[in-house]
């Protein structure tokens, strides 16, 4: 069953080392007043902040700023940014940072065009009807926020972390310079790499047979991360490794590989509760969860994609019995996450026990079930959390 779909990726991408001189010109297409958003200030130490500000100023644009956007960005940042946009009549937002900064900026752009509290986009799933244009300069490979319309926002008051999207929030122009990720440390490089692999795995394991072409593309993307993530951890300034990771992260989630696939994701909603409750890094949570989820859902009826994953991504011998091949694929993925990428393999190591698992499982299922690759009840989700202890 191949579903009909509409393909539309409007983001223009400047990829490479010597592209930032186009920034002012691109921004000026959208207007005069620019809100520059960023995170904790690492872009100031790296010099990127100065380069961006110079570009904006030399193009005679009016610059406004909002720094301090936290990882797992909070709804408060969104509220603040939306208020600045309204007060200052902002024409275009420029997010300089990783997925957190870009995600938050998208929702500022939507919040700027409504009269209600932007948390309603999440709590009530209000549809985005209008948004200011967003551009980005990416400094961390992983979330793919630079080329998609999604954004995940945390509300610490309600322990909620919710992702929503709209095609109106897809960045118009993104600048992807791999050298801007040279300063990302080994741990964050690993977490970003897991995030992009998870975006692919969520799509690769789909309940209906679909365009096989896309399966092969996904296998190619996964092989790319497996080769270049450890290289970027070892040699932070390896341009080839950083470039391959950066462009893969965009394509893992920009909509191409998921064309027509309408199934819900599994590991992401399960992980979102982990980082909502414990504020752990999203990619780390995904690394711990994904192999357990795979073990939990694998059965005789759905062994086929696990088998293909093992053979085509990890080169497991296709002549062995199917179930053995499938399990070996999961083992290789665990080894990659916990040995090659050196990530913690259990929640216990992070000081997390089982006391919130039941609540988290219910939240992940939103009071119902998770209809992903395989339907999961809250009890299933709780069981998966327990496998991660």
Return residues touching its own copies (CB under 8 A).
2-10, 12-19, 209, 211-213, 215-217, 219-221, 223-224, 227-228, 239-240, 243-244, 247-248, 251, 259-260
Q: What are phi and psi of 381, to 5 degrees?
A: -65, -40
Nearer of residues 101 and 312 to its own copies, judged by Cβ: 312
Closest of 165, 171, 123, 124 to residue 147, by C-alpha: 171
For residues 55 and 219, which CB has a smaller minimum distance to its own copies in the complex?
Answer: 219
Torsion of CA 283, 206, 101, 84, to 10 degrees: -150
**C-beta closer to its own copies: residue 205 or 251:** 251
CB of 13 to its own copies, least distance (A): 4
**Tokens coding 125:** 């799933």
Instruction: Find the shortest distance in angstroms from Cβ 206 to its own copies.
Output: 14
- Distance (Å, rounded) from C-alpha 115 to C-alpha 133? 18
Residue closer to its own copies by CB (options 134, 297) is 134
Which candidate, 375, 190, 207, places its Cα nearest to that of 284? 190
State how far the Cα of 223 lies from the Cα of 82, in Å rounded to an integer.
40
Q: Cβ closer to its own copies: 10 or 41?
A: 10
Min dist. Cβ of residue 212 to its own copies (A): 6
Is the CB of residue 59 less than 8 Å from the CB of residue 28? yes
Residue with Cβ nearer its own copies (114 or 217): 217
Nearer to its own copies, 80 or 210 (CB): 210
Q: Which is nearer to its own copies, 259 or 340 (CB)?
A: 259
Kindly state the smallest distance separating residue 281's Cβ from its own copies, in Å: 24
Nearest alpha-carbon partner for 121 in 109, 133, 135: 109
Total length of the chain: 389
Report the nearest approach of its own copies to the CB of residue 370 (Å): 27
CB of 100 to its own copies, least distance (A): 23
Bridge partners of 370? Answer: 376
User: In whole angstroms, how close is the CB of 242 to its own copies at the nearest point?
Assistant: 10
Question: Minimum Å distance from CB 298 to its own copies?
Answer: 24
Residue 72 sits at φ, ψ, to 5 deg, of 45, 65
CA dist., res. 254 & res. 15, Å (int) = 15
Gap between the terminal Cα atoms of the chain = 38
Token pair 């980082």: residue: 275
Whether the Cβ atoms of residue 75 and residue 122 lie closer than 8 Å to each other = yes
Residue number, 63 or 213, with CB nearest to its own copies: 213
CA-based torsion, 279, 281, 284, 285: positive or negative? positive
Question: Residue 82: which of 37, 39, 123, 45 has the closest Cα?
Answer: 37
Q: Nearest distance from residue 166's CB to its own copies, in Å?
A: 16
User: What is the token pair recorded at 18?
Assistant: 């010597």
């Amino acid at each position: 069953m191949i579903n009909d779909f509409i393909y539309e990726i409007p983001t223009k991408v400047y990829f490479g080392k010597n592209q930032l001189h186009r920034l002012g010109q691109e921004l000026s297409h959208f207007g005069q007043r620019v809100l520059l958003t960023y995170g904790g200030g690492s872009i100031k130490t790296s010099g990127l902040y100065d380069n961006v500000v110079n570009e904006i100023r030399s193009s005679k644009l009016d610059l406004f700023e909002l720094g301090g956007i936290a990882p797992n960005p909070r709804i408060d940042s969104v509220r603040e940014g939306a208020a600045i946009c309204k007060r200052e009549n902002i024409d275009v937002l420029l997010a300089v940072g990783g997925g957190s900064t870009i995600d938050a900026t998208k929702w500022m752009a939507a919040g700027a065009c409504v009269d209600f509290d932007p948390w309603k986009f999440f709590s009530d799933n209000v549809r985005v009807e209008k948004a200011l244009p967003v551009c980005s300069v990416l400094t961390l490979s992983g979330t793919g926020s630079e080329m998609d319309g999604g954004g995940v926002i945390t509300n610490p008051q309600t322990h909620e972390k919710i992702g929503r999207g709209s095609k109106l929030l897809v960045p118009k122009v993104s600048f992807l310079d791999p050298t801007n990720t040279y300063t990302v440390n080994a741990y964050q490089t690993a977490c970003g790499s897991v995030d992009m692999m998870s975006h692919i795995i969520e799509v690769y394991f789909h309940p209906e047979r679909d365009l096989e072409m896309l399966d092969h593309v996904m296998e190619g993307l996964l092989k790319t991360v497996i080769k270049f993530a450890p290289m970027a951890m070892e040699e932070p300034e390896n341009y080839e490794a950083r470039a391959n990771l950066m462009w893969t992260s965009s394509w893992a989630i920009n909509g191409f590989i998921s064309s027509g696939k309408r199934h819900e994701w599994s590991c992401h909603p399960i992980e979102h509760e982990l980082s909502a409750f414990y504020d752990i890094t999203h990619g780390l949570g995904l690394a711990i969860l994904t192999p357990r989820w795979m073990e939990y859902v694998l059965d005789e009826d759905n062994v086929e994609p696990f088998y293909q994953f093992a053979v085509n991504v990890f080169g497991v011998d296709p002549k062995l019995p199917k179930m053995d091949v499938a399990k070996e694929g999961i083992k290789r993925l665990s080894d990659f996450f916990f040995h090659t990428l050196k990530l913690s393999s259990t929640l216990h190591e992070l000081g997390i026990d089982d006391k919130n698992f039941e609540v988290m499982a219910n939240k992940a299922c939103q009071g119902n079930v998770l209809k992903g690759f395989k339907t999961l009840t809250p009890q299933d989700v709780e069981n998966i959390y327990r496998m991660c202890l």
